[in-house]
Amino acid sequence: MENFTVDPPQGLEKKVGFIGLGLMGRPMAKRLISTGFEVMVSSRSAPPVEELAAAGAIVATSLTELAQWSQAVITMLPTPATTEQVVLSSGGVLEAMHPGSLFIDMGTETPELSRRIHDRAEALGISALDAPVSGGDIGAIAGTLSVMCGGNPDAFERAQPIFTALATSVRLVGAPGSGQVVKAVNQIMVAGILGTIAEGLSLLECSDVDVEAALVALGAGRAGSELLAIKAHQMLNRSYDPGFKVELHLKDLAIVSDFARSSGVALPITTLITQLLVAIESSGGAQLDHCAIIEAIRGLRTLALPSSTTS
Q: How far apart are CA 192 and CA 200, in angstroms?
A: 12
What local confidence, expressed as pLDDT, does residue 301 receive? Answer: 86
What local confidence, expressed as pLDDT, does residue 267 receive? Answer: 97
β-partners of residue 151 are 129
Q: Which domains does the chain have, with CATH numbers?
A: 15-176 (3.40.50.720), 182-299 (1.10.1040.10)
What local confidence, expressed as pLDDT, does residue 303 receive? Answer: 74
- Whether the CA torsion 1, 6, 185, 296 is positive or negative: it is negative
Q: Which helix (H) or strand (E) holds 137?
A: helix 136-142
Concatenate the DSSP letters of all residues of 263-303 into one string.
HT---HHHHHHHHHHHHHIIIIITTSBGGGHHHHHHHHTS-
What local confidence, expressed as pLDDT, does residue 169 receive? Answer: 98
Give the phi and the psi of residue 262 in degrees, each rounded to 5: -65, -20
What local confidence, expressed as pLDDT, does residue 35 receive? Answer: 95
Q: How far apart are CA 295 and CA 140, in angstroms?
A: 26
Catalytic residues: 183
Say if residues 62 and 38 touch (Cβ distance below 8 Å). Answer: no
What local confidence, expressed as pLDDT, does residue 3 receive? Answer: 37
**pLDDT in tens for each of the 311 residues of the chain?**
333 333 434 445 699 999 999 999 999 999 999 999 999 999 999 999 999 999 999 999 999 999 999 999 999 999 999 999 999 999 899 999 999 999 999 999 999 999 999 999 999 999 999 999 999 999 999 999 999 999 999 999 999 999 999 999 999 999 999 999 999 999 999 999 999 999 999 999 999 999 999 999 999 999 999 999 999 999 999 999 999 999 999 999 999 999 999 999 999 999 999 999 999 999 999 999 999 999 999 999 877 777 655 54
Q: How far apart are CA 279 and CA 288, in angstroms?
A: 12
For 298, residues 6+ apart whose C-beta sits below 8 A from its C-beta are: 202, 205
What local confidence, expressed as pLDDT, does residue 12 receive? Answer: 55
Say if residues 102 and 124 touch (Cβ distance below 8 Å). Answer: no
What local confidence, expressed as pLDDT, does residue 51 receive? Answer: 97
CA-to-CA dists, residue 167 to 29, 31, 50, 148, 170, angstroms? 13, 10, 25, 10, 7
For 144, residues 6+ apart whose C-beta sits below 8 A from its C-beta are: 135, 138, 167, 168
